[in-house]
Amino acid sequence: MSQSTLEGDHPGSPGGGAGSGGGAGGGGSRRSRSHWTHLHWTHLHWPPRNPRRLVVEWLVVLVVAVVVAIGLRTFVVQVYFVPSGSMEPTLQVGDRIVVDKLFFSPSSLHDGQIVVFAHPPGDKPGVCDDPNAADLVKRIVASPGQTIVSHGNAIWVDGRPQPEPYLPKGTQLGRPVPFQRIPPGRYFVMGDNRYESCDSRYWGTIPGSTVVGPVVAVIWRHGHPALHTF
């Protein structure tokens, strides 16, 4: 910005106007040119940077970036990769989903919500295909104090069939749900791909304290960016 201003003022300087007059004007013009040239040189040639200081500055920038990234992941949002089809067609293999951590509390959980949670201890080797997975993603279908049971392919909660508009018409249930009442602080979760999903029908209800957060968006699908919010 300084350089542009100086170059813009140079053609209209007083010395230029006096140059067509007497010798005194010419001298004034030479002094003016010398003055502007000196300023122009000063703004174009910065003093050399200390390499050690430059390295330290970049290290500080990198450390701050890492701290911010860790803070965002720990307290704000976290992105997960979906490795299986247990939540199809809502979530598909290869999707990247965003989980909200900032505004989440266990008391805000409700039926129909898709959540990521820590792997349940009830999932023993031989129960499901991947008992070593760190976190799972399913949908809450019954909350503390409610009753749940299946009749045919339909899920009944508190004696009423659930509409479940997120499921394709004709979805097969697979393993049935025996009648039970959900204990305090726990949730019954299932995958939308009911016939293939390994869920609370196999390893029981999950504590609300193990929920990482609700899924709020899909941001990647079929190998390219996408956006679908929940």
pLDDT for position 128? 81
- One domain for residues 17 and 87: no
Do residues 31 and 145 share a domain?
no
Same domain, 102 and 38: no
Catalytic residue among 29, 138, 143, 200: 138
Of 29, 84, 86, 143, the catalytic one is: 86
Give CA–CA dist 91/196, Å, rounded.
14
Judge whether 102 lies within some domain: yes
Please indicate whether residue 3 or residue 27 has the higher confidence score (pLDDT). 27
pLDDT at position 2 over 60 = no
Question: Which of 6-20, 66-80, 211-225 has the highest mean predicted lDDT (pLDDT)?
Answer: 211-225
What domain range is 9 assigned to?
2-44
Asked if 169 is an active-site residue, the reply is no
Residues 118, 160 within the same domain:
yes
Can you give the pLDDT at residue 52? 78
- Count of domains in the chain? 2
pLDDT at 4: 32
SS3 for the chain is CHHHHHHHHHHHCHHHHHCCCCHHHHHHHHHHHHHHHHHHHHHHCCCCCCHHHHHHHHHHHHHHHHHHHHHHHHHHEEEEECCCCCCCCCCCCCCEEEEECCCCCHHHCCCCCEEEEECCCCCCECCECCCCCCEEEEEEEECCCCEEEEECCEEEECCEECCCCCCCCCCCCCCCCCCEECCCCEEEEECCCCCCCCCHHHHCCEEHHHEEEEEEEEEEECCEEEEEEC
What pLDDT, on the 0 to 100 scale, is given for residue 158?
Answer: 98
> Which candidate, 53, 34, 32, places its Cα nearest to that of 42?
34
Domain CATH for 90 = 2.10.109.10
Backbone conformation region of residue 223, classed left if phi is above 0, alpha if psi is from -120 to 50, else beta: left
Q: Which residues contact 145 (CB under 8 A, 6 or more apart)?
A: 181, 182, 184
Is 200 catalytic? The answer is no
In a domain, 65, yes or no: no
Q: Please tell me which of 42-46, 102-106, 130-134, 175-179 the model is most confident about, judged by mean pLDDT.
A: 175-179
Q: What angle do CA 196, 201, 204 make, to 5 degrees?
A: 135
Mean of pLDDT values over 95-109: 92
Question: Based on the domain organization, do 25 and 111 belong to the same domain?
Answer: no
Q: Which residues pair with 189 in a beta bridge?
A: 140
pLDDT of 39 over the 70 cut: no
Please, which pLDDT band fits residue 47 given cuts at 50, 70 and 90?
Answer: low
pTM of the model: 0.69
**29: confidence class by pLDDT, cuts 50, 70, 90:** very low
Verify that 11 and 91 share a domain, yes or no. no
Residues 219 and 125 in one domain: yes
In a domain, 12, yes or no: yes
Look at residue 148 and tell me if it is in a domain: yes
- Asked if the structure places residue 49 within a domain, the reply is no
**Is the per-residue pLDDT at 34 higher than 60?**
no
Please state, rounded to an integer, the average pLDDT across all residues of the chain.
Answer: 79
